[in-house]
Structure 1
């Protein structure tokens, strides 16, 4: 079934589809917030109907989620014994989470229909305020749903892609806070600041309680972040739309295998093809 934009997005409050003063003011507010700490939340961006539709879609494909239970550092790299034992690259934490890969969400499903609203990409590009913004070309990771259950969460990490756009779909009964330390990578790796976050001594950590229908724009390549453990029987669903600064970018093979349980030929063909020099 096809839906129009008004059915899916709260266009009265967020006029992303119409040029004019209201849209310009909204984008200006977003620019200010992103410049400050790399994160902005648009409350109730989705309509109640859209929330119901996407929740039902996530439920219908939840069985395809790749669950992983392992230990990772903030960079998803392997241990390097040559480094100091207290180096943040040698700090590993339990990770228990699940991702429903992108190839389980069809073009005619509600999640991709939201992403494909004609005004959506231009709005995101205007919000990010950068000349080069592209949809993530990874066929397993461009549009995904993060699924978490009782006791699960996601430890401190950086994102592979430069910008992440998330839609909160369904919360657990308790827990699941989104916590981040803004702009740690503004000028390099900044391992000392990362160590403070991992040690629990940083004063930079911000906590957000996202609600179903909220749209979050986040520069996860530069800000260390995590999701706190969940409590209760209800699953937590968060949809993720990923954007990058280079065309045709896909995830690194090792990290893709960790997150989605498999790699495709495209991941091996394009391994290492990105301009920045961050270790992940």
Structure 2
């Protein structure tokens, strides 16, 4: 596979033709959806043949996934006894799933080929309406390109993302469950909005939306500000979702604690960048 067209439906999504009328219409549609609720979906971004390649890759690297079974809060933080018992940061839930780290996706990886295709990054940046000097690939050797793998009984409780811009690609659905649910733009860079977070955690679904993503669908999501989860799955078939991560600051990297939780290890790169963040939000 040497061409991006072997994976992406460029006729429907002409990210390789910036400035064309079709490209401008595509960007306008995505920006509208992001403005409305911080989430946009491009159905069939990867065509059926491309999805077949991605499923084969996911099956091959699945044994390298780091499976973890923990209790975590929405911020992937530790218990803080100084907070009230009903504070969102003190609400812990079971989390069980696996992440296949980025160092399993080399230069020949179809998933990495999409992420590193020059027009892909420019397209995502345009869709988010971000200036070039505030948009970067996530500088994390374990987390820039990953696959989230969910097996029967597993799920991912309510949480916020570490990085500002998350782009996901549905690769394979489970037989049952695995729905993506989110509460759009619950917090901002300067406001944790704990009251709204607490309402969602308590089961108030008035603000919660659910997506039924299909294999090949690309999702652009402001996950650092929108609380979200994946419901438990059932059946023998694994749920695979590729994750492409971007940030608005150069050299942004996952925290040591969170990286160890998700991938089972940290690298010197994470230790060197510990504490270097541009906002004061809980992780």
TM-score, scaled relative to structure 2 = 0.97
Instruction: From 212, 220, 242, give the equivalent of 1:217.
Output: 220
Q: Distance in 1 between matches of 2:279 and 2:252?
A: 12
What is the RMSD computed on CA atoms of the aligned residues? 0.8
1:81 deviates by: 1.1
Match of 2:120 in 1: 120
Match of 1:146 in 2: 148
Q: Distance in 1 between matches of 2:80 and 2:274?
A: 21
The question of whether the paired residues in 2 share the 8 Å contact of 1:193 and 1:202 is answered with no
Superposed, 1:136-215 pairs within 5 Å as 136-186=138-188, 188-215=191-218
**Stretch of structure 1 that moved more, 40-49 or 114-123:** 114-123
Residue 79 of structure 2 corresponds to residue 59 of structure 1: no
| Structure 1 stretches of 4+ moved >3 Å | none
1:118 deviates by: 2.6
Match of 1:21 in 2: 21
Instruction: From 260, 267, 271, give the equivalent of 1:268.
Output: 271
SS in 2 for 1:192: helix
Tell me the alpha carbon deviations over residues 108-130 of structure 1, each in whole angstroms, 9 at most, x when there is no partner: 11111122223111101100101
Match of 2:94 in 1: 94
SS in 2 for 1:31: helix
SS in 2 for 1:140: coil
SS in 1 for 2:29: helix
SS in 1 for 2:118: coil
**Stretch of structure 1 that moved more, 5-14 or 137-146:** 5-14
SS in 2 for 1:246: coil
SS in 2 for 1:130: coil
Paired residues in the alignment total: 279
1:5 deviates by: 1.8
Q: Distance in 1 between matches of 2:47 and 2:117?
A: 14
Give unmatched runs, 5+ long, in structure 1: none
Match of 1:81 in 2: 81
